[in-house]
Amino acid sequence: MTNSPLRVIISGGGTGGHIFPAVAIANELRRRQPDSEILFVGANGRMEMTRVPEAGYKIVGLDITGLQRRLSPQNLLFPLRVIRSVRKAGRLIEAFRPDAVVGVGGYASAPVLLAATSRAIPSLIQEQNSYAGLVNKLLARRVNKICVAYDGMEKFFPATKMVLTGNPVRTEIASGDRAEALTFFGLNPDKKTLLVVGGSLGARTLNLATAAALPRLREAGVQLLWQTGKLYFPEAQREAEAYQSDNLHALEFIKRMDLAYAAADVVVSRAGALSVSELCLTGKASILVPSPNVAEDHQTKNAMALVSKGAAVLITDEHAPERLYDEALRLLADPVRQQHLSARVRELARPDATSAIVDELLKLIKN
């Protein structure tokens, strides 16, 4: 590498599970080389177009969408959009002249990586899930390096290109102070606390099951931190307030997740790759309810990577209405089992994942 500023394009997005790891990689690059020039490329209309600028980075949008799973007129336009997006990505690469390109999954990464690899620009993809995404599988043979978060990914990618790094997670997520957390949320240190989180958009099954369980939680003296998502929040707020209890807290979105994890004795969560990685890093006893509405049921596969090692409890989305809060109350009342789950899940944490990915990226550029 020369002494000129490092120039890197990071592409992909669509969900927080793609965006937050991408930002973590960018932050680590900037930490090591503050004069680095980093350009994000995403899909117009998707959440990366607002989340990335909020993190302090420039982003350019492509007019690209994924194939619809059902018959749709939009699918007829898909090939045309891909061609246009690859051409635009090529122009961006010619103008920006990156030293390397990183893809984090999501359909916006495909045109950029196709354009980059056709120009022999060093390229790396980061796969968050235990079941590889379609875009990453299609591009695996074109890129130089593939960073994965789970063992056994040889069934998707060439073993010679893979390195097991884990998922990039904000390290500060595990640094929350419990005393500060209890004060921040107005919680009683003598009571058990349950954290329920279904992702930034919320999860219908978790919300409905939680609403139905409010009388049981209040009767058991359990404190609840309930991230509902935007759509369900007004209803959840009314339901929680109806019980006139200081124990039940319905929140649209929790910005201080470090404090939420610090306060929680048990966590109920979906099993997105980012959530699973955060649970490993924070060492929290958890009940995972995988979303059934994701490609290839990859959340169940993410959850099983923990469950198979005795590091989490699994309740299916189908069984959650009847079984979730029976299991949650049993686990809250069993500190020995909580400690066992916590110890096992900590063994799976990879706190240096972001650093390891950037190491691989810089090696590609140097070589």
Q: Is 154 annotated as a binding residue?
A: no
Q: Is 81 annotated as a binding residue?
A: no
According to CATH, the superfamily of the domain at 7-168+351-366 is Glycogen Phosphorylase B; (3.40.50.2000)
- Burial class of residue 67 in the structure, from the number of CB atoms within 10 Å of its CB (0-12 exposed, 13-18 middle, 19+ buried): exposed
Domains 7-168+351-366 and 172-346 are alike in CATH topology: yes
Q: How far is CA 107 from CA 13, 40, 42, 110, 226, in A?
A: 8, 14, 9, 6, 31
Confidence of residue 74 (pLDDT cuts 50, 70, 90): low
Q: Where are the domains positioned within the chain?
A: 7-168+351-366, 172-346
Q: Is 346 annotated as a binding residue?
A: no
% of the chain residues with pLDDT over 70: 93
**CA pair distance 310, 305, nearest whole angstrom:** 9
Q: Is 310 annotated as a binding residue?
A: no
Alpha-helical (H) ranges within 298-334 are: 298-307, 320-332
Average pLDDT, the chain: 91
Q: Is 276 annotated as a binding residue?
A: yes
The answer to whether 163 touches 360, Cβ cutoff 8 Å, is yes
Q: Is 188 annotated as a binding residue?
A: no
According to CATH, the superfamily of the domain at 172-346 is Glycogen Phosphorylase B; (3.40.50.2000)
Q: Is 8 annotated as a binding residue?
A: no
Read off the pTM.
0.85
**CA pair distance 302, 228, nearest whole angstrom:** 22
Q: Is 327 annotated as a binding residue?
A: no
List pLDDT tens digits, range 163-190: 999 999 877 899 999 999 999 999 999 9
Q: Is 138 annotated as a binding residue?
A: no
Matching residue, tokens 């096992």: 344
The answer to whether 128 touches 109, Cβ cutoff 8 Å, is no
Q: Is 345 annotated as a binding residue?
A: no
Q: Is 16 annotated as a binding residue?
A: yes
The answer to whether 144 touches 124, Cβ cutoff 8 Å, is yes
Q: Is 15 annotated as a binding residue?
A: yes
Q: Is 17 annotated as a binding residue?
A: yes
Q: Is 275 annotated as a binding residue?
A: yes
* φ and ψ at residue 104, rounded to 5 degrees: -110, 15
Instruction: Quote the pLDDT of residue 255.
Output: 85
